[in-house]
Amino acid sequence: MSHRGTRVLRLDALARVEGEAALHLRVQEETVTEARLRIYEPPRFFEAFLIGRAHTEPPDITARICGICPVAYQMSACQAIENACGVTVEGPLAELRRLLYCGEWIESHTLHIYLLHAPDFLGRADAVELARDHRAAVERGLRIKQTGNAILEQLGGRPIHPVNVRVGGFYRTPAPEELRPLAERLRQARDDALETVRWVAAFDFPDAGSDHDLLALRDPGRYAIDSGTPTVIAPHGRTPAPREFPVSDLEQHVHEEQVPHSTALTAALDGRRYLTGPLARYAVNGRWLHPVAAEAAREAGLGDPAAGDICANPFRSIVVRAVEVVQAVEEALRIIQDYEQPPRPALDVIAREAVGAGATEAPRGLLYHRYALAENGTLTAARIIPPTAQNQAAIEEDVRRAVQARLDRLGTAAGDEELTRLCERAIRNHDPCISCAAHFLDLTVERG
Amino acid sequence: MTGRIVVIGVGNPLRGDDGVGPAVVEALRGRVPDDIALAVSDGEPGRMLELWRGADIAVVVEALLLHPARPGELHTLTAAEVAGRARGTASTHALGLGECLALAEALDLLPRKVIVHAVEVADVELGTGLSEPVRSALPELIERTATSVRRAGEENHQRRTSGGAPLP
């Protein structure tokens, strides 16, 4: 029941958010005064676990942080170690890594679109209900996902915790003919991916905006995945002008600090709330989408990415994810077509006393690693900044806005159940990755 | 492939007792016939559906959290029993095993038979290694799983020799 005075909502069961999440919402006189989300345990355990290990170990160990995006962890880890050792992986080895990463984007995004996010727009409680009522769609989603999985198996050795990636490259690289069956599957997946964009574009989207700064890697000439320069753009179009900084300076810009509506420490970028992930990536890299993906974006009502149009409605992130799946499929096809087997599966990465940083675009956003190595390669420090931790303040603000917009709508009172669903949707828009945190949901609604 | 048997250990070895499923699968390596597929999974439903696609019998080993908890207690459940428990209570995974089984059923992707062996966990905080109650229960859990695999093989053999209709 809605009534004047103070009420506090503590949401106890956040459905379809991977892992553990708890939300604390305080409403005073029909104004949301606090939206506090505990959704991510920064991987401090892994940082401690890495100290004293060899410089060759972070890709394997950090891949276990997240079963949904192990490749992202491997890639950021490899780059940070290679950066410390003065090695740059280029040419076909870098292309193979990018191909592997495309597989992860395809798999992770499709999981979120079909099994976690779409039920929100179709009024279904979960993926099981969706499968009963929209079976063909769910089967299409599983087909796309299997294609991403096939790339991970072919290049990574196995789909969860891939074992074939190593510092400097791979343990083994495929011959071009080994990749041909993947190309065949990817061509089929392209049709399914384009159909996905049309499917999600037809959903009803609540009218919503956001004013977070946007942070993504920028890799001029191509849509950033595995490399690029951290770039920040302002929320409403083009002023102030985009700014960028080297990966190695990221910790000078990203700080954990107190924000007004929350007692928790939250990441801020140069003192401001910011968002990383598909919406940020699309804003920074949209002009470099493959023509097929760009056309799909235009048809889906995302404006013209070539002209720098951005998407500020977090509920439409599902459309941007669908466009990114098309992009990843096209990019994977291009890489396979141009691929020539490298002479050696990996470069030598000789340890030295140094610090190195690496950042790549995990499906959920920018993932940063930094390692300090002793002369013999033993790790003396490790720092991991995952996308969901960076997005926490932005997600909280989205929740606050969504609930406030609902409370401001006159006529009908907002019940606990409705607000709970609304909060869950606002959170799911950002596909928070908390599967490496505890897996139990803890969402309570408390009203006073 | 008709008659295929798959054993799936679900869990994350870096989450304490959640690693019990993978631990059982490791213990079965070399102990079961070569044609038995052994797999480890984080329980993500899309991958689970792939792992048992085309399988006749799936044996799943899972960590289980019940209230009130009796850590180390073993449970053997059918697909229907797990699906009935559904979210939150029965599994440590994002979309729990219950939802995963319900999803498979909705899409006609359930193996003919699913056997779930589960152990009640004490500790799923970040860290390696099993708690004492779960470690003590591990040999019996491995034994139960191995027995299920052996019986599944016998059952398949009987179905073949008795001309039992192969499933699509």
Q: What is the largest CA-CA distance in chain B?
A: 50
Neighbours of B168 (CB within 10 A): 6
Residues A386 and A364: their CA atoms lie apart, in Å, by 9
Strand partners, A398: none
Measured between beta carbons, which residues in chain B are less than 8 angstroms from residue A435? 42, 94
Given the cut 0.90, state whether the ipTM is greater than it.
no
Summarize the confidence of residues A357-366 as an average pLDDT.
97
Residues A10 and A25: their CA atoms lie apart, in Å, by 6
Model confidence at A26: pLDDT above 70: yes
Residue A234 pLDDT: 86
- pLDDT tens, residue by residue, A380-395: 999 998 898 899 899 9
Measured between beta carbons, which residues in chain A are less than 8 angstroms from residue B42? 67-68, 160, 435
Summarize the confidence of residues B44-56 as an average pLDDT.
89
- pLDDT tens, residue by residue, B141-168: 999 999 999 999 998 888 888 765 554 4
Summarize the confidence of residues A243-254 as an average pLDDT.
96
Residue A260 pLDDT: 56
Residue A413 pLDDT: 79
pLDDT band with cut points at 50, 70 and 90 for residue B44: confident
Chain A closest-CA separation from residue B60 CA (Å): 17
The helix-helix angle for A91-110 and A135-151 (nearest 10°) equals 160
Q: What's chain A's average pLDDT?
A: 87
Residue A19 pLDDT: 43
Chain A closest-CA separation from residue B127 CA (Å): 8
With CB atoms and an 8 Å threshold, state whether B44 touches A135.
no
Query: Minimum mean pLDDT among A236-245, A306-315, A355-364, B114-123: which range?
Result: A236-245
Summarize the confidence of residues A332-339 as an average pLDDT.
98
Chain B closest-CA separation from residue A17 CA (Å): 7
Q: Which top CATH class is B5-161?
A: alpha beta
Which residue has better confidence, B84 or A376? A376
pLDDT band with cut points at 50, 70 and 90 for residue B116: very high
Which residue has better confidence, A286 or A65? A286
Of B42, B94, B95, Cβ closest to residue A160:
B42
Model confidence at B67: pLDDT above 90: no
Token pair 């869950």 is at which residue?
A: A424
Chain B closest-CA separation from residue A409 CA (Å): 33
Model confidence at A241: pLDDT above 70: yes
Hey, what amino acid is at A290?
H
Residue A42 pLDDT: 56
Boundaries of every domain in chain B: 5-161
- Taking the CA atoms of A267, A272, A278 and A280 in sequence, report the sign of the dihedral they define: negative
Residues A278 and A358: their CA atoms lie apart, in Å, by 19
Strands (E) across chain B are located at 5-10, 36-41, 57-64, 74-78, 113-120
Of A64, A131, A149, Cβ closest to residue B14:
A64
Question: What is the value of pTM for the model shown?
Answer: 0.90
Token pair 């490259």 is at which residue?
A: A169
Residue of A nearest to B98 (CA): A128
List of domains in chain A? 6-41+390-434 (no CATH), 44-204+335-352+362-389 (1.10.645.10), 213-312 (no CATH)
With CB atoms and an 8 Å threshold, state whether B107 touches A138.
yes
Residues A182 and B73: their CA atoms lie apart, in Å, by 45
Secondary structure (H, E, C), chain A: CCCCCEEEEEECCCCCCEECCEEEEEEECCEEEEEEEECCCCCHHHHHHHCCCCCCCHHHHHHHHCCCCHHHHHHHHHHHHHHHCCCCCCHHHHHHHHHHHHHHHHHHHHHHHHHHHHHHHCCCCCHHHHHHHCHHHHHHHHHHHHHHHHHHHHHHCCCCCCCCEECCEECCCCCHHHHHHHHHHHHHHHHHHHHHHHHHHCCCCCCCCCCCEEEEEEECCECCCCCCEEEEECCCCCCCCCEECCHHHHHHHEEEEEECCEEEEEEEECCECEECCHHHHHHHHHHHCCHHHHHHHHHCCCCCHHHCCCCCCHHHHHHHHHHHHHHHHHHHHHHHHHCCCCCCCECCCCCCCEEEEEEEEECCEEEEEEEEECCCCCEEEEEEECHHHHHHHHHHHHHHHHHHHHHHCCCCCCCHHHHHHHHHHHHHCCCCEECCCCCCCCCCCCCC
- pLDDT tens, residue by residue, A121-156: 999 988 889 999 999 999 999 999 999 999 999 998
Q: What residues of A are in the B interface, CB distance below 8 Å? A: 13, 15-19, 41, 45, 64, 67-68, 107, 110-111, 115-116, 126-128, 131-132, 135, 138-139, 142, 145-146, 149, 159-160, 435, 438-441
